[in-house]
Amino acid sequence: MKIKILYIDDEVNNLTGFKASFRMDYNILIAHNTIQAHDLLIRNPDIRVIFCDQRMPDKTGVEFFKDIKNEFPYPIRILLTGYTDIEAVINSINHGNIFRYVQKPWSVADIIAAINEAHKFYMLNSMLSIKNGELKKAYIELDKFAHSVTHDMRRPLMGILGAIEVAQEIDDIGELKSMLNMMLESVKNLDGFIQSTHDYYNLKRGELKIEEIDFEELIKIEEKSLKSSIGEDIRFNANVQQEETFRCDKVSMNIILHNLLTNAFKYQKKGNEDKFVELDIKVATGMATICIKDNGIGIPENDINDIFDMFYRSASEEPGSGFGLYNVKDALLKLNGNIQVDSKIDIGSTFKVTIQNK
């Protein structure tokens, strides 16, 4: 991409001479007067360097640069002038209205040197403002994040605090025990939430570490922990068909499987005689396809588009952090993978994930 340069001069010969000398290496726009120049600046926000003659009938170059400085802060302003105007030029440089000047008559080498220097400055400046914008955005996000997270962490703690105060006035052991059980649930939820924020940061900051994935092993660990923490009564079928070794980031793979399986186990219909979760993994032709199917409560149609949003929770029957599917989506984004959901209320949900072999 050629650097876009605007040159303003009232003398047509100068304009054509300038364009002829530099059009091969740069994208040169020319203007006969400052009104035309202003118009070109509006239509070409990507102009990076402006050359302007000092002596023009409608306005001096110094005046023009002073006028446009606030409206177009990014292009680098260079004045072309003879020796006689040197005082006005120095003044203008000192006021920050122009970057530098090139003395007339100019040589091609003078102009190229000026463009190179100006462009370097332009890049630094605009990089800085882009980075500043990114920082500002990150700061606002962090602020929101900190607010939500502290809130969600305080919630179970406040519950436990209230319970401890009440427990001190209760003598019935049975009642105390049932309170302890509820407090235990709260502690587990809080721990789960902290684990999810940990996952969130691992995904945001962590580098991918590609290694061979042993699905059978992963499934065994998940099955054991899910059955003991959620329900022994859920029929779990896992089926792995692998034609080639699968290589992927293990941390991300864990997060994806763990959260999807946890949801499938958690959001089951109470009182259903035959609760089941089916996991199907196929690895073939450089692609892993993971299907997780349950016959649970399903997801309301209105919520389907929101379930991957941070802190979004579609069901209140079971405790959740609002982080799980967000983390799944984030992990898939990092792995360049894909996820599809098919769900019907009271029938169940199916999540289908595809990830390329790395």
Chain positions contacting other proteins, by CB under 8 A:
147, 150-152, 154-163, 165-166, 169-170, 179, 182-183, 185-186, 313-317, 319-320, 322
Cα 225 to Cα 232: distance, rounded to the nearest angstrom = 10
Q: To the nearest whole angstrom, how small is the minimum distance from the Cβ of residue 175 to other proteins? A: 9
Nearer to other proteins, 127 or 157 (CB): 157
Q: To the nearest whole angstrom, how small is the minimum distance from the Cβ of residue 179 to other proteins? A: 7
CA distances from 275 to 182, 263, 293 (A): 25, 13, 11
Nearer to other proteins, 86 or 166 (CB): 166
- Alpha helical stretches, state H, 95-239: 108-167, 173-205, 215-229
Nearer to other proteins, 17 or 159 (CB): 159
Cα 328 to Cα 353: distance, rounded to the nearest angstrom = 10
**SS3 readout for 18-59:** HHHHHCCCCEEEEECCHHHHHHHHHHCCCCCEEEEECCCCCC
Q: To the nearest whole angstrom, how small is the minimum distance from the Cβ of residue 171 to other proteins? A: 13
Cα 185 to Cα 283: distance, rounded to the nearest angstrom = 38
Nearer to other proteins, 128 or 182 (CB): 182
Contact call for residues 275 and 233 (beta carbons, < 8 A)? yes
Contact call for residues 343 and 263 (beta carbons, < 8 A)? no
Q: To the nearest whole angstrom, how small is the minimum distance from the Cβ of residue 146 to other proteins? A: 11
Q: To the nearest whole angstrom, how small is the minimum distance from the Cβ of residue 357 to other proteins? A: 37
Nearer to other proteins, 164 or 210 (CB): 164
Nearer to other proteins, 60 or 189 (CB): 189
Query: Does an H or E element contain 238, and which?
Result: strand 235-242
Encoded tokens for 265: 């186990």
Give the position of tokens 């955005």.
137
Q: To the nearest whole angstrom, how small is the minimum distance from the Cβ of residue 192 to other proteins? A: 14
Sequence-ordered list of residues with C-beta below 8 angstroms from that of 227, at least 6 positions apart, any chain = 234, 236
Q: To the nearest whole angstrom, how small is the minimum distance from the Cβ of residue 148 to other proteins? A: 9
Question: Nearest to residue 50, comparing CAs of 63, 25, 31, 35?
Answer: 31
Nearer to other proteins, 182 or 284 (CB): 182
